[in-house]
Structure 1
Amino acid sequence: MPDVGDVVTAQLVVAPYDTSTQAVLTVTAPDGTMSTPVTTSEDGGQTWTAPLVYTAAGVWLLHWMVSGTGASVENEQVSVAPTPGASAGGRTYATTTDLANYLREAPPLDAAGLLADASTMLETRVLAYCRYDVDDQGMPSDPDVSKAISRAVCAQVAWWDEVGDSTGAAGVGYGNVAIGSVNLGRSVTSVSGDDSAARQIAPQVADELRAPHLHDKLYIGALSVPW
């Protein structure tokens, strides 16, 4: 599967063919933008090629129209992946270096995406009910709080690795976790995605956010957070 930024040569082999064979390529990008790169053949019309740069992630459509001998229409869909490690937007509270240091080993290749997902999960389910000083970008301004939240995010990623699931697809149940006066989780009564261990807060997150040195810097509200 190609990544964003890859420079490739689109190719079509025509049979039968002769000197009357012509092939035109129309490329439709994921956003609907269409282009017609220059096509050439160096073997008398059998093999046609065109340079192509994948500038965006998503599904691209390559539409070949052949005229003359071998006239036909050929369509090819190409799935293009985002640049590895690219951010999907939103705040990410830990880096892959933070994760490597937390795990004490090399992080997985999809670490950037996992950290972004864990940041969103904790921001929605925990940090939204916390009070701490932030900078203009909404990131924690106190170094101790920043480090604690970073480690909490890493703990969530490590938990996903432990349970072998980061989306809840496995549907494995898990019990309650308390962080200060915030009660997170629920009893295991089913095997739905929301009940799986992956969709609940890692126990180590509580350890990171309720450390004694954070008492005057990070307040966790007296709320019950639903799943």
Structure 2
Amino acid sequence: MVLVYAATSDLTTWTGGPPPANATQLLRSASMLITSATVASVYGVDDAGLPSEAKVLQAFKDATCAQVAYWVTAGVDPTGGGISTAAPVRGKRLGSGSVEYDTAVSGSVTAFQAKRAAAATLCAEAFMVLHQAGVTPSGVQRG
């Protein structure tokens, strides 16, 4: 069973804008990444497996939303291994209806590697949210 730490409404609140069409999939993928990043952390859970302490649950929710916002901004789709099939538009003309895509940047090996890494790596903001809540595996426990 995959735990999902945030809902589409949480993402809308976090970003201040409408959720992307694939928000449900992104929230699920981000939640799995959060679970993996905190696998060695110590925190209480409820019967469903969610963090039982309100502060920790909120951190998981916020980190999940931060990760999704990062992916959306970076144009990364983690369900496809970070590969984006849409090349950025390099130029367009209105007169004869021409659109030209810039495949040099989006198709480069460096861009591919960066997107693949971003699809499987916790972004800085999500890490900081978890770290400040004390749920990153650091070997130090509070309380």
Q: TM-score range by the shorter chain?
A: 0.5 to 0.7
Report deviation, 1:193: 7.3
State the distance in 2 between where 1:195 and 1:96 align. 24
1:113 has 2:25 as partner = yes
- Partner of 2:62, secondary structure, is helix
2:131 paired with 1:196: no
Q: Using the TM superposition, give the Cα deviation of residue 163 of structure 1 relative to its aligned residue in structure 2, in angstroms.
A: 1.0
Once the two structures are aligned, what percentage of the paired residues are identical?
30
Partner of 2:105: none
- The question of whether the paired residues in 1 share the 8 Å contact of 2:83 and 2:116 is answered with no
SS in 1 for 2:35: helix
Cα drift, residue 219 of structure 1: 5.4
In the aligned structure 2, how far is the partner of 1:140 from the partner of 1:149? 8
Q: Greater share of helix residues, 1 or 2?
A: 2
Q: In structure 1, what is the equivalent of residue 54 of structure 2?
A: 143
Root-mean-square deviation (CA, aligned residues, Å) is 2.3
Pick from 112, 126, 137 the counterpart of residue 205 of structure 1: 126
Secondary structure of the residue aligned to 1:210 is helix
TM-score, length basis structure 2: 0.68
Matched, 1:156 2:70: no
User: What is the rounded CA distance, in whole Å, between the counterparts of 2:17 and 2:60 in structure 1?
Assistant: 20
For structure 2, which runs of at least 5 residues remain unmatched after alignment?
85-109
Question: Between Structure 1 and Structure 2, which shows a larger proportion of strand residues?
Answer: 1
Match of 2:40 in 1: 129
| Partner AA of 1:149 in structure 2 | F
Q: Distance in 1 between matches of 2:116 and 2:10?
A: 28
Larger radius of gyration: 1
Please, what TM-score do these two structures have when normalized by structure 1? 0.44
Is this contact kept in 2: 1:132–1:219, CA < 8 A?
Answer: no
Q: Is residue 118–residue 153 contact of structure 1 (8 Å, CA) maintained in 2?
A: yes
State which of 133, 137, 140 in structure 2 corresponds to 1:220: 137
Structure 1 stretches of at least 4 aligned residues deviating more than 6 Å after TM superposition: none
Judging changes above 3 Å, is the alpha-carbon distance between structure 1 residues 139 and 128 closer, same or farther for their aligned structure 2 residues? same
Match of 1:165 in 2: 76
Report SS of the residue matched to 2:61.
Answer: helix
Contact kept? 2:130, 2:136, Cα under 8 Å: no
Per-residue deviation, residues 24-58 of structure 1 (Å, max 9, x unmatched): xxxxxxxxxxxxxxxxxxxxxxxxxxxxxxxxxxx
2:14 & 2:41 partners in 1: Cα distance?
Answer: 23
CA distance in 2 between partners of 1:95 and 1:136 (Å): 19
CA 1:113–1:139: 2 relative to 1, 3 Å = same
How many pairs were matched up?
111
Please say if residues 163 and 198 of structure 1, whose CA atoms lie closer than 8 Å, have aligned partners that are also in contact: no
